[in-house]
Chains A and B, each alone.
Chain A
Amino acid sequence: MADVTLRVGFAGPLVTFQDGGRRRQLRYGVSASGPMDRLACQAANAALGNACDATAIEVSLGGLGLTCHGGAVTCAVAGGAFFLDHNGQRYASGQVLTLHEGDRLTIRPGRTGSWAYLTLAGSLRCPTWLGHSATHAISGLGGGVIATGQTIPVDDAALRRDREGAIAGCAVPADAPIRVVTGPQEDRFSGSALRHLLSSPFTVTDAHDRMGMRLEGPVLALDGALSIPSEPILRGSIQVSGDGVPTVLLADHQTTGGYPKIATVLSCDVDRLVQYRAGQPVRFAAVTPDEAIAIVRHDAQARAACLARLGTARGTLEQRLMRENLVQGPTWE
């Protein structure tokens, strides 16, 4: 018996269960899936003291509304500039709160961001595939796509009152350029294509889902053959179709393909890119492979420090008041 059940009042398209993702399966055509914005999902888990790769609910621009039944459970929401409404009380994304019996929580997009993460102090019960709940959205393999009317059991539901309150995110400024290493097929393009990619702004189109993000901008003209023998693709590969239009492949990417790839986004910058909305401009900047290694190592340290900070319980209100008093001395006679 689940301690707590969440009833889904409404779920937009592409609201899914996601754990950290399944790696080492690319050779079987299986992309890792997992959260589009891995850092935001890890932050939402850390803020509750969960393992960073625990199963979360990924909320799309379609939003999510649910009610809590059977008990109480503490939850966290992080990622994007989404809005939360908890029984009429509004918060910005980046919040830990406790849902009581009958409480209503809705998560809706705000001005920016495309994906938010709802984590629970407890264990979301959902199917797994190849050992992971991460959902491959087009096949539905894994935990699955969440639908209106569904009930979601939460096992071992717990209260973590000492973690309630606003939480800071770990993301870096959203308008910094997205860093890429050029290639592996940059030599298949005309001289101007790489210059365009690195100097012109591209715009995110509404063709943006868990598989990829199509961009609009100058035509990235191919030099010669339109296709190459089908070869491996990674999360972050920027493939260019015959008409010169680039698509960045994302969490549920196809694992091989025959379109040449002009550049590949650094793993640490993919989390930032996925939060871009249709119409938003993207700028790319090239770094060398050695610079990419240095950047991702530095970024990993910053992420670990931020997640560790989020993972430290701040204490209950009472504990916090006590601490303040000890620091500031008694404020009464």
Chain B
Amino acid sequence: MTPPVFKPVADHAVLVTFGTEIAEDTHRAVLALDRALMADPPQGMIETVPALVNLLVDFDPLVTDHAAITSDISERLTGLRIETVTGRERVVQVCYDAALAPDLAAVAKATGLSREAVIAAHLSGNYRVLMYGFVPGYAYLGGVPAPIRVPRKPSPVRDIPAGSLLIAGPQCLVTSLTMPTGWSVIGRSPTRIMTRDQARPFFFDVGDTVRFERIDRADFDRLTRESAHG
């Protein structure tokens, strides 16, 4: 692991950057430092924000400062073992029914695959939660297999319902809110990423592995009804 670069941000944060390109080792280093800081928070640390190549450490400027917390972070970097970072496996159910997957046909056409082959490729991916971002509960998953990596649309489409399964390039996302998106919608999930469970309000932690499980329309409708009442 190459030593990270520390950058002070305003009066209350330090950005710790492990690389300039998105790579698995770089992300594992981010996660390893994140876990080390969560397990043993430096004095004055308020929160950490893991992203693709860096970790933001936000602190209380009345308690500590950039230099002191940088030194605390450096201490926790010593002996950090990035290869041991693993997440829990989470299963997300997804229905690829045509009515819930408005872009599935276009993805099939763009990739030269059949609809079933696109679905099979999507189900075969090894997904990992890279980071949350944009709006509450938007968890970006890496691991979309190469044959179905498609670019973003030139302009976003409005009002894509919550629960939509989106893909763009190597990333995949199950939306938590009704929002515009330029990504391709290839299915819908009854699994809520914002769970309404106070003990665990978000379904994933960054670093979790994710497996998609195909369900049919009847199951989708039943599970959606149940989660609406639950």
B10→A180 contact, CB < 8 A: yes
| CA distance in complex: A290, B11 (Å) | 8
**Cβ proximity bits B16-58 to A, threshold 8 Å, 1 near / 0 not:** 0000111000000000000000000000001111111111101
Kindly provide the distance from the CB of B81 to the nearest chain A CB, expressed in whole angstroms. 21
Kindly provide the distance from the CB of A272 to the nearest chain B CB, expressed in whole angstroms. 14
Chain A hits for B22, CB < 8 A: 229
The reply to whether the CB of A27 lies closer than 8 angstroms to some CB of chain B is yes
Kindly provide the distance from the CB of A315 to the nearest chain B CB, expressed in whole angstroms. 32
| CA distance in complex: A24, B202 (Å) | 13
Report the interface size for chain B: residues with CB under 8 A from the other chain: 42
| CA distance in complex: A85, B34 (Å) | 51
Kindly provide the distance from the CB of B154 to the nearest chain A CB, expressed in whole angstroms. 15
Q: Which of A42-70 contact B (CB under 8 A)?
A: none
Chain A hits for B61, CB < 8 A: 267, 292-293, 296-297
| CA distance in complex: A102, B56 (Å) | 51
CB-CB under 8 A for A232 and B56, given A183-B7, A293-B61: yes
| CA distance in complex: A332, B135 (Å) | 67
The reply to whether the CB of B146 lies closer than 8 angstroms to some CB of chain A is no
A181→B9 contact, CB < 8 A: yes
**Cβ proximity bits A270-282 to B, threshold 8 Å, 1 near / 0 not:** 0000000000000
Kindly provide the distance from the CB of A329 to the nearest chain B CB, expressed in whole angstroms. 45
Partner pick for B49 among A141, A232, A292, A293, CB 8 A cutoff: A232
- Name the residue of chain A whose CB is nearest to the CB of B178: A139
The reply to whether the CB of A165 lies closer than 8 angstroms to some CB of chain B is no
The reply to whether the CB of B141 lies closer than 8 angstroms to some CB of chain A is no
A28→B201 contact, CB < 8 A: yes
Chain B hits for A23, CB < 8 A: 46-47
A184→B53 contact, CB < 8 A: no
| CA distance in complex: A256, B22 (Å) | 15
Partner pick for A230 among B8, B48, B56, B133, CB 8 A cutoff: B133
The reply to whether the CB of B66 lies closer than 8 angstroms to some CB of chain A is yes
Chain B hits for A265, CB < 8 A: 10
Chain A interface size, under 10 / 10 to 19 / 20 to 34 / 35 or more:
35 or more
A230→B131 contact, CB < 8 A: yes
Chain A hits for B12, CB < 8 A: 234, 267, 296
The reply to whether the CB of B103 lies closer than 8 angstroms to some CB of chain A is no
**16 pairs from A and B in contact (CB 8 Å cutoff):** A24-B47, A28-B201, A130-B201, A141-B136, A181-B8, A184-B8, A231-B54, A236-B10, A237-B9, A254-B133, A254-B135, A255-B49, A264-B13, A265-B10, A292-B61, A296-B11
B interface vs A, CB < 8 Å?
A: 7-13, 15, 20-22, 46-56, 58, 61-62, 65-67, 131-140, 177, 201-202, 206
A interface vs B, CB < 8 Å?
A: 23-30, 130, 136, 138-139, 141, 180-181, 183-184, 228-232, 234, 236-237, 254-257, 264-268, 289-290, 292-293, 295-297, 300
For the complex with contacts A228-B20, A230-B51, 11 further pairs of A-B residues with Cβ separation under 8 Å are A27-B49, A28-B202, A29-B135, A180-B10, A229-B20, A230-B52, A231-B52, A254-B133, A256-B49, A290-B66, A292-B11
